[in-house]
Amino acid sequence: MRIAVYQTSPAYGEVEYNLFTALNALGSFRADLFVLPELFSTGYLFGSRKELAALAEPIPSGPTTRALLEFCRAEDCAVVAGIAEVSGRGSARKYFNSAVFLGPRGLLGRYRKTHLFNLEKKWFDAGDSGFSVSVFRGARIGVMICFDWVYPEVVRILALKGADIVCHPSNLVLPFCQAAMITRSIENRVFTVTANRVGKEKRGEVEIPFSGMSQIVDPHGRVLRKAPRTGEKLIAADVDPTRARDKRFTPGNDLFKDRRPRFYRDLVR
């Protein structure tokens, strides 16, 4: 399975332009699975919840999801991409920092970010989807978004649910994640695919630079491909997802069989 990551530099609020640019880049390349960053079509630094409301789209009926679905059908591939989602009506209306998982036959999954980062709490509702794994071309694929990296429970749950590959659309700000995701791969024996963005956004006094260095990591923690800190870039790797199913750590250790969950109860108190 060929996995490709497109490290983008979206223009804030320019949904059509960002979508067009991304589809243009993806369309010039062949891969089974493309991963795009968090909020790749809108940009990140919303001025208010109202501003987010003007850019958010329903899933799967919104134009961004429909265009990505059309791409998956035309190119016979899958896409994981971060999208600002609106759901529900009237007082039940909610806004989620979501990621879609799309294939040639339609929506394979939708994830709503569980752990909102900093200012995101002003704009978004906390995700309510939980974590799920969907199958594409025999690979079991889970999705999480950006700041979820700091909660090791997320990749662990996805791995326990059978994920071979964890796709990780991101808009990374802090410098620790790329190293932490190597650990997430090692401790769960899974591929992790972090699609980060580059560039800066500035609103008033607030300026956020994004850190690039998108990466594809194998189940032994080897970085198969890494993008630079700056600049848009497409990186790709050919992987065998079934390599993530061998959880033997040493001749005497199986990563998952050796877990002692009865000692972990404090985690869910």
Active-site residues, by number, are 38, 113, 146
Closest distance of CB 49 from ligand ACM, Å = 17
Closest distance of CB 147 from ligand ACM, Å = 3
Alpha-carbon distances, residue 123 vs 146, 164, 196, 240 (angstroms): 16, 32, 20, 39
Nearer to ligand ACM (CB atom), residue 38 or residue 218: 38
Q: What is the DSSP letter of 252?
A: T
Residues touching ligand ACM, count (CB under 6 A): 7
The reply to whether 25 sits near ligand ACM by the rule CB under 6 A is no
Which tokens hold the place of 253?
């250790």
Which tokens hold the place of 161?
């649910």
Nearer to ligand ACM (CB atom), residue 98 or residue 241: 98
Nearer to ligand ACM (CB atom), residue 40 or residue 136: 40
Q: Is the dihedral of CA 9, 13, 14, 19 positive or negative?
A: positive
Binding mask 98-117 toward ligand ACM (x if CB under 6 A, else -) reads -------------------x
Beta strands 233-238 and 248-250, pairing class: unpaired
* CA pair distance 11, 149, nearest whole angstrom: 25
Closest distance of CB 2 from ligand ACM, Å = 27
CB 16 within 8 A of CB 41: no
Closest distance of CB 148 from ligand ACM, Å = 8
* CA pair distance 180, 224, nearest whole angstrom: 15
**Contact residue for ligand ACM among 3, 32, 35, 38 (CB under 6 A):** 38
Nearer to ligand ACM (CB atom), residue 32 or residue 38: 38
Binding mask 235-254 toward ligand ACM (x if CB under 6 A, else -) reads --------------------
* CA pair distance 30, 28, nearest whole angstrom: 7
**Contact residue for ligand ACM among 15, 23, 79, 146 (CB under 6 A):** 146
Phi/psi at 202 (5° precision): -135, 130
- In what helix (H) or strand (E) does residue 182 lie, and over which residues does it extend? helix 177-188
Nearer to ligand ACM (CB atom), residue 124 or residue 136: 124
Closest distance of CB 259 from ligand ACM, Å = 28
Give, as ranges, the residues between 59 and 88 that touch ligand ACM (CB under 6 A). Answer: none
Which distant-in-sequence residues (6+ apart) come within 8 Å of 127 by Cβ? 96, 97, 98, 111, 112, 113, 114, 116
CB 79 within 8 A of CB 113: no
Nearer to ligand ACM (CB atom), residue 171 or residue 194: 171
Give, as ranges, the residues between 164 and 203 that touch ligand ACM (CB under 6 A). Answer: 171-173
Closest distance of CB 39 from ligand ACM, Å = 8
Residue for token digits 């759901």? 87
Interacting residues with ligand ACM (CB under 6 A): 38, 117, 146-147, 171-173
